[in-house]
Amino acid sequence: MESIPRWEVLSLCGIGTWVILSSMFNVTQKIRSLTQPWVSSYVVSTTPITLKIQKYHNKYLDAFFSALSCVVSVPFYTAFLPLLFWSGHCKLARQMTLLMALCDYIGNCIKDVVCAPRPSAPPVRRITATEDEKENALEYGLPSSHTLNTVCLSGFLLQYILSYIQNDDAITGLVGLVIVCLFVFFIALGRIYLGMHSLIDIIAGLAFGLAILASWLSVHKYIDYFIVSGQNVASFWAVLCFLLLFAYPTPQLPTPSFEFHTAFNGVALGIVIGVHQTYHQFHHESVPRVFTPQLTLPAFLGRLIVGYPTILLVRFCSKALAKWMLPMLANALGIPVRSSSYVPSLSVSASAKKSDQIKQAGYIQKLFFFSQQDSFEVDTGIRLFQYASLAWSVVDLVPSLFFHLGL
């Protein structure tokens, strides 16, 4: 039996202690009472800046900034990260996945702690060209997640490319930095132009993004080493994933932010478990990479043709399995559950939903052992299982299919 390293126990106990103490001392409400009025006043005071930028609106800029927002959205990364895994850049893919999960967690936590409004529309003209943007508009404003994610992921990608090509030329690094800065600038400008964020949201996104990126660059090698060769990896990450569902603030009103966090929390869990189990088979540094004789372009296209339908099938099947299994398990344990969308037979009436909406999962209130709620949201468990299964299939099931198909 493997021994449990002390740091694993201390880190998990620390998070659990924080969850309990935060609930006991109402940390979220105290931080919100200090920050929300200040941020809200800045959102109002910077509205003229947004209106000046929107004076130049036309259909071409609308299309350009809407498309640019889609390129750095969560659905885009959900499609892009499997492509990285299957192209042979496994280390980059798993580190960007975990970084994305970290950005999503921190950014959404801050949103739901501060609960700062987005720019008022009208007078601001808000453009939501996609269903994803319409859902994003239901979240609170500060910080801008698009800005925060772009800073972190483009900055980390630049660092990886420079280290991968082993080019110490200062000019190359400077050109890469300029490209990243321009990309971040247009993303940030687009969020204001589309009426999705105020200037203070953008500044906060930049500040938190740079802080997260600097922290990640200092620890990512240790985290990666633990994932591929550490002890108790699957059990540690499962407990961590479980605790992070509780270590999330309760917003003033329900938003999709916790759903996004749950999804990426599940993705991180599936990636970590899958990579740890199959590292020496499919994810080591000597795996074939695209555009090499070992992995030609036709073979790579074959991987995409096989891979994407497979993970979509796994997502569908795992969701169906969780919808059947989790309510049955809860019933066997005597735990009352409800469902907002996934299980119609467990849905609550509109009046009950309104009276219970403020009890959105958050901090210790989500932990049913201590909660005073009459029933518990089963959709969180379904969503977590669904996305963990999808991510596991990306790094375990699908590479196994590639191996058997000669891809």
Q: Which residues are tagged catalytic?
A: 146, 197
Give, for 338, the enclosing helix (H) or strand (E).
strand 337-338
CA 328 from chain centre, in angstroms, equals: 29
Kindly report the number of other CB atoms within 10 A of residue 403's CB atom.
11
CA 273 from chain centre, in angstroms, equals: 17
Give, for 377, the enclosing helix (H) or strand (E).
strand 376-377
Rounded Cα gap, residues 388 and 275, in angstroms: 12
Residue 295 β-bridge partners? 292
Backbone φ/ψ region at 140: left (φ over 0), alpha (ψ -120 to 50), beta: beta
Residue 377 β-bridge partners? 338
Amino acid at 64: F
Rounded Cα gap, residues 219 and 319, in angstroms: 34
- DSSP string covering 43-95: HHHTHHHHHHHHTT--HHHHHHHHHHHHHTSHHHHHHHHHHHHHTT-HHHHHH
